[in-house]
Amino acid sequence: MRYFIELQYDGAAYFGWQRQPDTATVQGTIEAKLSMLRGTPTEIVGAGRTDTGVNASFYTAHFDSDTTVDCQQLAYKLNKVLPADIAIIRIYEVEETKHARFDARQREYTYFLTPHKSPFRRYSAWHFTADINIDMMNEAAAKLLEHDDFTSFAKLNSNNMTNICHITHAEWRVESDGTLRFTIRADRFLRNMVRAIVGTLVDVGRGKYSVAEFEDIIVSRDLSRSSAGAPACGLFLSDVRY
């Protein structure tokens, strides 16, 4: 039997999602507690990797079990033993062929910039005080939907089979408190891709690049031409759709 887990986590204390030896990761932390509660080694498969310091306001994973699981009780117990920076939303049974990673049709990331210093957002937003042109950033972001090769925003030596991604939405909005919120959706993302896009779009907003130059960066397929990646703290995996 296969079970899906929906969860959230603050990534500040973890070296990303993926299990690593002798290193604190979200996957490793959940697996340890899940195995303890079930009394048997239990591996989980996540919807995808998130890097060091990246957060998730919505994340999915699955695990297999030879015995029936009381989903509500297991979710309750997991929340009791997991650290405060990981929360289980719910656990539910799915078809045995449903896969948390390979069956995901669309993923959404959200990035936050705040112009105001806040002790409560130091791990959840990029504190950025320079003047930026949101209209130009949105004009540039729209160019992402016209292309599908994002080598210019892909981390080197990531062993990607392909750098092709199909972006369906990319937009900046200003919230009531002045926070800038960037939402991007695609069928898949490359490692470090969203942070590199955000960093480069912010440089468009600062006037370092024009919209045409931003599109030239995409077309060039040259990572050295894109800007430094935005800080991990502002990035959230915010949705996974099946």
**Catalytic positions:** 51
* Alpha carbon distance 113, 125 (integer Å): 5
Residue that has been written with the tokens 């015995």 in this structure: 67
Q: Give the tokens for residue 69.
A: 């699981």
Assess contact for 191 and 51: CB atoms under 8 A: yes
Residue 213 corresponds to which amino acid?
A: E
Going by C-beta distance under 8 Å and a sequence separation of 6 or more, which residues neighbour residue 102?
Answer: none
| Phi, psi for residue 116 in degrees, rounded to 5 | -110, 130
Take residue 48 and report the two structure tokens written for it: 């995808």
DSSP secondary structure of 185-222: EES---TTHHHHHHHHHHHHHTTSS-HHHHHHHHHHT-
